[in-house]
């Protein structure tokens, strides 16, 4: 009986031990799984943070590079937009000026107004200027080379042979305006093959093509400067910044800006910068290094991403200190450790409670069944051998049956426990085989010892072929050596784990990307047993990440390329969201604006006006567009903004705020203001122009009707200005005009208005009903100020002013009438001797009309070739033979000769003297050619040159071309100029005349003794002959002083070995006097008046010796 009790006790203890062992085994398996998961998660924390940092740095650099690439792609578009805006401004100014022109205003005046309004305008950092030419190719405006104005540029070609002007004209003829690309020489840069973009537009009323251009390289240089400026302002994560530099080491942005470490003495800086440059040159990548101690930057380990811009030879990157992440990583590991400990404690407690409960239950059951155990001995023994249920029906007593039933329950529990263990093992294997990641074990040499089915699927190979294969054989060949080095570092203990993105090659030859997480397996004594690794297929993740980056990049490109920013406000107007370029426009970051209202950034009065406007809009719950408002920049400057918005409603339809966009319209506002100023002010002097003067006269006329107070207009024209402008160039002329403006302002009252109409014409408006004496006093004061000497660029000038005066209402009650009247009076003042004042009277109109009619007829005469050449012989003394002749132009209009005194001054004033002079020279050469072809001896013919012709840069080339065209010699032509013409600019006169003299032309001074007061020019200039003015000849025999002057001039000629010609000889007494004094040549009516070419030819042929003894006349 004692043995029976021991057996039951023993059985109870064994069953309790089995249950405890089962619980302990399950607990250990669960603990191992949880601990491995804990270790993997702990390692992943650092890996994830490390990867996140690298992705973050690369994204920042990629964003900057994408922005630069976008800017560069937009370079030509920016050039086109910039020059288009400028040309539109020029076109707007020209059209406005032309619309303001009074009816009947001469086209030349309108052209001058437009030309002088556009000439001084500069833009694009001083590089830009305007040019204009008409549809025939004649240059009408060339702001930087005014000497080309008036020349035909159709033959001008670019660096690649394109006909630039001709192509531009074709362009505007087809479409009115447009962009034209060509290649040209760029100042300061080698070669002449530089892309230049021009924009041209037709000014239809003038028939002009106006345009401007810009080199693409200049715009790209501006883009570089803008990019570096933005880099200097970029900050992230507290101490993060963008750095950039050139491949030669010079820093462009960041802590080394303006410093070249490669040329410095700090080896650490040289090493770091050298590595950065080399990485950028090789396609970019990540670098780890210790930050050199520069600009208070702490010398600590740092990770940076750097990339290169090859064609700029730049490196560019961003970095963060490695220790920035330590605190975050430590906190996450501590939280995970606490969680692991709590899980283990709870699991242990539950396991202990379950084991104790099972043991006590079993022990109690065995004790209750102790008395009947013997009856069941055989059955239990058989049940122990064969785990089958006991047949209860074979037992006799109910107690035995209960024991049997208990035994059956134990047997069933045992079977259930075994089944549970089998299921847990199957579940672990299922987890292993159905994991979404590949799990594998290798030995020390990298041979795969175990792998789940996912790994076989991932590498598309049979599972059996994986076993025993080398892990390295599955790495893409391009990364295989790097993979071996990485695993080698892990096996040698140099790194605790590996977490890296790796490129793999499947058995079917396809590739995929995986993230490898790998650790070393060790025995208890620390011996390495191999590796355990996990590979997650991240191919789709990388594609999604790339797509996300592209999407984000598109959004950033849109925001970066736009000058706008977006916003949201609540229903009381407080910003709840701001994004975009707000900081570039207002100087505030989006974070600084959130929580404030738009009114906080406006001037007080502006805020009140805008608030009232928006209050009405919000009350109606309406959208709004382009609401103009003014904001205050952080630096205090004003920015003009256009705001648009739409209302936001909640699900219940209640207004919760507005969403919209702000656009910086400061440049547009400035452009509008500039156009307004350009339309009403002279660009050179800043004075009111004709349009603004007309407005002020209109106001004065309106006031005159109310108060009866009159006013006066003084039309002022500078005397001799055209000569200075033509001789010394437009730059000196412009400076002279500004000086004259200041002098005139100093001579008039503060209440008066001074306006510039263009060229050398000014108008003074005297208000407050001045009297005639007061008007005359102010005009005399102005003339006195203008007449004072001016010294510019080493030249001293003495100008004068002719002033015409019209008084309202006596001389008119409309602006155009008063201006015309004062202009008419001015011409009479000029005709009276210059530097004089003339009040208007009605009789002047008829004379002005005659003058304008004469000018129009003169232009038509040039076009219709109505001019003919007359020749006046020059006679040699004492033998009185023909020695030459002077060519004199005559105008035959409607069969009647127009006196030269009537049309030559007008030709001089209007510039028509240049084409007229070309007609004269061409006709003379044609006549000489014909005479020579007839076998006649051709005398030297004198041709008069004007100052405008003398100072043209193409004068010599034109004369040489014509001489060659008619196959003649320079000895056939003598060129005559007056003293005043030559001395308007002695230096340029000397250069031009020397070129002609060196070619063989004879130079003669006409009207000698009547002009310049110094005789020094006779020595300086290449002169061969002087002509005594007829004013000294006509009083010979009546005025001893004239006779003395003639003697002096003859003496000068002999001493300086100059020929002398006496003009205007009409009497025998004058001839005898000159003969006795040894005058070598004479010219005058005594021998012949000027005669037509046919008559001169016969006159010349009358005597074989060409004798003049008969005193021939005609």
Q: Sorting pLDDT into bands at 50, 70 and 90, what band is 2?
A: very low
In this prediction, what percent of the chain has a pLDDT beyond 90?
43
| Per-residue model confidence (pLDDT) at position 26 | 72
In this prediction, what percent of the chain has a pLDDT beyond 70?
85
The pLDDT of residue 6 is above 70: no
CB 491 within 8 A of CB 531: yes
DSSP string, 574-631: BEEEEEESHHHHHS--HHHHTTSBGGGGS-HHHHHHHHHHHHHHHHTT--EEEEEEEE
Sign of the alpha-carbon dihedral angle for 883, 885, 886, 887:
negative
713 or 345, which is more confident: 713
Cα 453 to Cα 462, 472, 512, 957: the distances in Å are 9, 19, 17, 94
pLDDT in tens, 617-644: 999 999 999 999 999 999 999 999 999 9
Segment 177-194 shows an average pLDDT of: 83
How far apart (Å, rounded) are the C-alpha atoms in residues 406 and 411?
9
- Hey, which of 387-396, 411-420, 737-746 has the most confident mean pLDDT? 737-746
Please provide the average confidence, as pLDDT, over all residues in the chain.
Answer: 84
> Quick count: other Cβ atoms within 10 Å of Cβ 798?
12
Segment 365-371 shows an average pLDDT of: 51
| Per-residue model confidence (pLDDT) at position 1114 | 36
Every domain of the chain with CATH number 3.30.450.20 lies at: 78-216, 435-545, 562-671
Low-confidence winner among 172-186, 792-806, 922-936, 1007-1021 (lowest mean pLDDT): 1007-1021
The pLDDT of residue 704 is above 70: yes
Residue 483's SS3 state is helix
Q: Sorting pLDDT into bands at 50, 70 and 90, what band is 798?
A: confident
The separation between CA 842 and the C-alpha centre of its own chain, rounded to angstroms, equals 56
Segment 791-801 shows an average pLDDT of: 82
pLDDT in tens, 118-147: 998 998 888 899 999 999 999 999 988 899
Low-confidence winner among 354-363, 394-403, 657-666 (lowest mean pLDDT): 354-363
How far apart (Å, rounded) are the C-alpha atoms in residues 1080 and 460?
119
| Per-residue model confidence (pLDDT) at position 12 | 57
The pLDDT of residue 1111 is above 50: no
Instruction: Give the domain 435-545 fold.
Output: Beta-Lactamase (3.30.450)
The pLDDT of residue 334 is above 60: yes
| Per-residue model confidence (pLDDT) at position 842 | 79
**In the CATH scheme, what is the code of domain 15-73+234-354?**
3.30.450
Q: Sorting pLDDT into bands at 50, 70 and 90, what band is 705?
A: confident
pLDDT in tens, 416-467: 766 776 777 666 667 666 778 999 999 988 899 999 988 988 999 998 888 9
Per-residue HEC secondary structure of 379-403 comes to HHHHHHHCCCCCCHHHCCCHHHHHH
Cα 1007 to Cα 140, 924, 976, 1020: the distances in Å are 35, 22, 10, 18
Low-confidence winner among 211-225, 247-261, 379-393, 514-528 (lowest mean pLDDT): 379-393
Q: Which residues contact 471 (CB under 8 A, 6 or more apart)?
A: 440, 442, 446, 447, 448, 487, 531, 533
The pLDDT of residue 1009 is above 80: no
Taking the alpha carbons at both ends of the chain, their separation in whole angstroms is 183
Segment 903-908 shows an average pLDDT of: 87
Every domain of the chain with CATH number 3.30.70.270 lies at: 681-842
Strands of 194-203's sheet, edge to edge? 139-142, 131-134, 208-215, 194-203, 177-184
Instruction: Give the domain 681-842 fold.
Output: Alpha-Beta Plaits (3.30.70)
The pLDDT of residue 84 is above 90: yes
The pLDDT of residue 369 is above 80: no
Single out the residue of 242, 239, 244, 249 nearest to residue 297, CA to CA. 239
Tell me which residue has tokens 């020595």.
1019
| Per-residue model confidence (pLDDT) at position 767 | 87
Q: Which CATH number fits domain 78-216: 3.90.1150.10, 3.30.420.40, 3.30.450.20, 3.30.200.20?
A: 3.30.450.20
Single out the residue of 489, 434, 427, 481 nearest to residue 458, CA to CA. 434
The pLDDT of residue 954 is above 80: yes
Low-confidence winner among 47-56, 254-263, 1013-1022, 1046-1055 (lowest mean pLDDT): 1013-1022
What are the φ and ψ backbone dihedral angles of 978, each rounded to 5 degrees?
A: -85, 160
The pLDDT of residue 739 is above 50: yes
- Hey, which of 178-187, 435-444, 1086-1095 has the most confident mean pLDDT? 1086-1095
Segment 896-903 shows an average pLDDT of: 89
What are the φ and ψ backbone dihedral angles of 108, each rounded to 5 degrees?
A: -65, -35
The pLDDT of residue 543 is above 70: yes
- Host H or E run for residue 1018: helix 1017-1020
| Per-residue model confidence (pLDDT) at position 406 | 75
The pLDDT of residue 374 is above 70: no
| Per-residue model confidence (pLDDT) at position 1107 | 43
The pLDDT of residue 508 is above 50: yes
Q: Sorting pLDDT into bands at 50, 70 and 90, what band is 1014?
A: low
The pLDDT of residue 212 is above 90: yes
Beta strands in 945-1084 (DSSP E): 973-978, 1002-1008, 1025-1028, 1059-1063, 1081-1083
Segment 318-337 shows an average pLDDT of: 72
The pLDDT of residue 7 is above 70: no
Q: Sorting pLDDT into bands at 50, 70 and 90, what band is 396?
A: low
Instruction: Give the domain 562-671 fold.
Output: Beta-Lactamase (3.30.450)
| Per-residue model confidence (pLDDT) at position 36 | 72
pLDDT in tens, 511-531: 999 999 999 888 888 788 889
**In the CATH scheme, what is the code of domain 856-1101?**
3.20.20.450
Label residues 724-733 b or e (16+ Cβ within 10 Å = b): bbbbbbbebb
Q: Where are the alpha helices (DSSP H) in 620-716?
A: 666-680, 690-707
| Per-residue model confidence (pLDDT) at position 1113 | 38
Q: Sorting pLDDT into bands at 50, 70 and 90, what band is 386?
A: low
920 or 15, which is more confident: 920
Token pair belonging to 939: 């005398």
The pLDDT of residue 976 is above 90: yes
The pLDDT of residue 903 is above 60: yes
């Amino acid at each position: 009986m004692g043995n029976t009790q021991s057996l039951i006790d023993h059985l109870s203890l064994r069953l309790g031990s089995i249950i405890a062992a089962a619980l302990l085994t399950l607990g250990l398996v669960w603990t191992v799984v949880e601990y491995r998961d804990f270790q993997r998660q702990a390692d992943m924390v650092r890996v994830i943070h490390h990867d996140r940092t690298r992705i973050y740095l690369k994204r920042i650099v990629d964003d900057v590079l994408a922005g630069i690439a976008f800017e560069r792609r937009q370079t030509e578009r920016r050039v086109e937009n910039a020059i288009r805006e400028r040309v539109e401004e020029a076109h707007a100014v020209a059209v406005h000026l032309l619309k303001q022109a009074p009816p009947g205003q001469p086209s030349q005046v309108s052209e001058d107004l437009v030309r002088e309004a556009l000439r001084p305008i500069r833009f694009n950092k001083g590089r830009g200027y305007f040019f204009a030419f008409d549809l025939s190719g004649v240059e009408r405006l060339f702001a930087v080379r005014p000497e080309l104005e008036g020349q035909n540029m159709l033959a001008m070609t670019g660096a690649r042979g394109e006909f630039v002007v001709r192509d531009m004209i074709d362009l505007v003829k087809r479409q009115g305006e447009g962009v034209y690309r060509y290649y040209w020489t760029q100042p300061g840069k080698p070669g002449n093959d530089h892309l230049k973009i021009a924009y041209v537009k037709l000014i239809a009323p003038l028939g002009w093509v106006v345009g401007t251009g810009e080199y693409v390289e200049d715009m790209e240089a501006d883009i570089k400067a803008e990019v570096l400026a933005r880099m200097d302002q970029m900050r992230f994560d507290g101490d993060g910044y963008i750095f950039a530099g050139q491949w030669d080491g010079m820093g462009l942005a960041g802590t080394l800006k303006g410093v070249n470490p490669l040329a410095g003495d700090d080896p650490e800086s040289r090493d770091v910068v050298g590595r950065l440059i080399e990485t950028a040159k090789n396609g970019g990548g990540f670098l780890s290094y210790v930050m050199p101690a520069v600009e208070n930057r702490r010398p600590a380990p740092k990770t940076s991403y750097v990339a290169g811009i090859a064609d700029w030879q730049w490196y560019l990157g961003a970095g963060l200190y490695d220790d920035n992440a330590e605190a975050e990583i430590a906190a996450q590991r501590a939280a995970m450790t606490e969680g692991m400990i709590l899980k283990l404690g709870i699991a242990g407690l539950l396991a202990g409670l379950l084991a104790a409960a099972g043991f006590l239950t079993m022990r109690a059951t065995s004790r209750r069944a102790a008395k009947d155990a013997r009856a069941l001995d055989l059955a239990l023994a058989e049940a122990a051998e064969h785990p089958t249920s006991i047949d209860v029906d074979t037992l006799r007593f109910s107690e035995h049956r209960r024991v049997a039933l208990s035994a059956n329950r134990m047997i069933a529990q045992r079977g259930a426990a075994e089944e549970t263990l089998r299921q847990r093992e199957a579940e672990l294997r299922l987890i292993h085989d159905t994991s979404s990641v590949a799990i594998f074990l290798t030995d020390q040499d990298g041979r795969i010892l175990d792998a789940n089915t996912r790994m076989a699927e991932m590498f598309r190979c049979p599972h059996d072929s994986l076993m025993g294969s080398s892990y390295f054989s599955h790495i893409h060949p391009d990364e295989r050596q790097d993979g071996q080095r990485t695993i080698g570092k892990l096996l040698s203990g140099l790194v605790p784990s590996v977490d890296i993105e790796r490129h793999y090659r499947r058995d079917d030859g396809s590739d995929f990307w995986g993230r490898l997480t790998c650790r070393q397996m060790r025995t208890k004594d620390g011996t390495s047993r191999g590796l355990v690794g996990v590979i997650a297929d991240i191919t789709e993740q990388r594609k999604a990440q790339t797509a996300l980056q592209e999407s984000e990049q598109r959004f950033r490109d849109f925001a970066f390329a736009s000058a706008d920013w977006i916003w949201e406000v609540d229903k009381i107007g407080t910003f709840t969201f701001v994004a975009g370029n707000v900081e570039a426009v207002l100087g505030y970051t989006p974070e600084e604006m959130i929580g404030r209202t738009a009114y906080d950034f406006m001037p007080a009065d502006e805020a009140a006006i805008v608030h009232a406007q928006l209050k009405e809009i919000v009350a109606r719950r309406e959208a709004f567009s382009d609401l103009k408002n003014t904001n205050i920049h952080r630096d205090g400057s004003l920015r003009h903004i256009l705001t648009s918005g739409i209302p936001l409603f909640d699900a219940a339809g209640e207004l919760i705020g507005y969403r919209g966009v702000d656009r910086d319209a400061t440049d547009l506002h400035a452009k509008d203001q500039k156009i307004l100023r350009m339309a009403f002010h002279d660009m050179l002097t800043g004075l009111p122009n004709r349009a603004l003067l007309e407005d002020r006269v209109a106001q004065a006329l309106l006031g005159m009707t109310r108060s009866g107070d009159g006013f006066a207009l003084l039309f002022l024209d500078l005397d001799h200005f055209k000569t200075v402008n033509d001789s010394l160039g437009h730059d000196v002329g412009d400076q002279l005009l500004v000086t004259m403006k200041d002098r005139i302002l100093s001579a008039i009252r503060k209440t008066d208005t001074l306006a510039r109409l263009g060229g050398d014409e000014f108008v003074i408006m005297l208000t407050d009903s001045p009297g005639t004496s007061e008007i005359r006093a102010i005009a005399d004061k102005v003339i006195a100020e203008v007449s004072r000497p001016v010294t510019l660029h080493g030249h001293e000038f003495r100008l004068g002013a002719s002033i015409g005066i019209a008084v309202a209402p006596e001389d008119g009650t409309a602006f155009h009438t008063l201006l015309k009247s004062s202009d008419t009076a001015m011409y009479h003042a000029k005709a009276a001797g210059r530097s004089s004042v003339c009040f208007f009277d009605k009789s002047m109109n008829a004379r002005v009309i005659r003058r304008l009619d004469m000018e129009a007829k003169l232009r038509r005469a040039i076009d219709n070739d109505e001019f003919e050449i007359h020749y006046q012989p020059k006679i040699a003394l004492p033998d009185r033979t023909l020695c030459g002749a002077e060519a004199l132009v005559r105008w035959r209009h409607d069969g009647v000769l127009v006196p030269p005194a009537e049309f030559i001054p007008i030709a001089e004033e209007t510039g028509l003297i240049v084409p007229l002079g070309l007609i004269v020279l061409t006709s003379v050469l044609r006549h000489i050619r014909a005479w020579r072809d007839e076998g006649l001896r051709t005398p030297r013919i004198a041709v008069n040159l004007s100052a405008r012709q003398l100072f043209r840069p193409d004068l010599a080339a034109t004369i040489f071309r014509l001489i060659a065209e008619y196959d003649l010699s320079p000895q056939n032509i003598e060129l005559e100029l007056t003293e005043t013409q030559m001395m308007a600019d002695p230096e340029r006169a000397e250069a031009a005349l020397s070129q002609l003299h060196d070619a063989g032309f004879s130079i003669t001074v006409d009207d000698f003794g009547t002009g310049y007061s110094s005789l020094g020019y006779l020595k300086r200039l290449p002169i061969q002959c002087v002509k005594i003015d007829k004013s000294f000849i006509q009083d010979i025999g009546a005025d001893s002083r004239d006779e003395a002057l003639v003697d002096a001039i003859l003496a000068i000629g002999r001493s300086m070995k100059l020929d002398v010609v006496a003009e205007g000889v009409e009497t025998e007494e004058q001839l005898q006097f000159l003969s006795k004094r040894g005058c070598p040549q004479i010219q005058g009516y005594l021998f012949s008046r000027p005669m037509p070419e046919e008559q001169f030819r016969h006159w010349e042929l009358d005597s074989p010796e060409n004798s003049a003894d008969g005193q021939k006349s005609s």
